[in-house]
Amino acid sequence: MKLRRGFKKESEEIAVELRSELGLPPDAPMCPWKLADHLEIPVHTLATAQEFAPESVANLLAEGGNYFSAVTLFGGRSGHSRFICHNESHAPTRQRANLSHELAHAILLHPATRIFECDPMAEEEAKWLGPTLLVTAAATNRIVNERLDHESAAKQYGVSVELLRMRVNVTGANLIASRKQFFRQKPTS
């Protein structure tokens, strides 16, 4: 499914603007839990959500709790209209990616859907914005320009090497760096 024209650029702008609101430079790592606090979106694990949304958690677990990553739920006894529930048994890098994906839905004001149903376009948008929130184009340019290895950079940003590699590729950071290098070396006539 193709994203609407300009969405990728808009995603970068959103990620940089949110960093600014949090007092971070455009290329800084960003903690999705701090972003959730900033956006006033409560985040719960399956264990804590069980206390105030037992029916919702039961539905999540009944449909394959081992495969459950995260979901945005609306209502519940918490008094909040929107909250995120995530699977705390996943690796920390995956939890960060899962949470960023759900935050992307909130940031983009995607409406609620029935549990285990989704709007395909909303999912595509969240699949793009979520990783962008974690690793901006400015970050990938810094990583490439400073010649950071992907493992070290992934640790710095709290993401998997696969997510970092994907972001470096889709932002064209290597191509941008090679063009800059080419023009620096080109003799003037």
pLDDT for the residue numbered 66: 61
Residue 183 pLDDT level (bands cut at 50, 70, 90): low
pLDDT in tens, 24-69: 999 999 999 999 999 999 998 888 877 877 777 777 776 655 677 8
More confident residue, 154 or 61: 154
Higher pLDDT, 180 or 47: 47
Structure-model confidence comparison of residues 75 and 20, the more confident one: 20
pLDDT at 184 over 70: no
pLDDT at 80: 52
Please report, for the chain, the start and end positions of each structural domain, with discontinuous segments joined by +.
Answer: 7-134
Using one digit for the tens of pLDDT, what is the confidence trace for 90-148? 899 999 999 999 999 999 999 887 766 788 999 999 999 999 999 999 999 999 999 99
Q: Which residue has the higher pLDDT, 152 or 179?
A: 152
pLDDT over threshold 70, residue 15: yes
Task: State the pTM of this model.
Answer: 0.85
SS (H, E, C) the chain: CCCCCCHHHHHHHHHHHHHHHCCCCCCCCCCHHHHHHHCCCCEEEHHHHHHHCHHHHHHHHHCCCCCCCEEEEECCCCCCCEEEEECCCCCHHHHHHHHHHHHHHHHCCCCCCCCCCCCHHHHHHHHHHHHHHHCCHHHHHHHHHCCCCHHHHHHHHCCCHHHHHHHHHHHCHHHHHHHHHHHHHCCCC
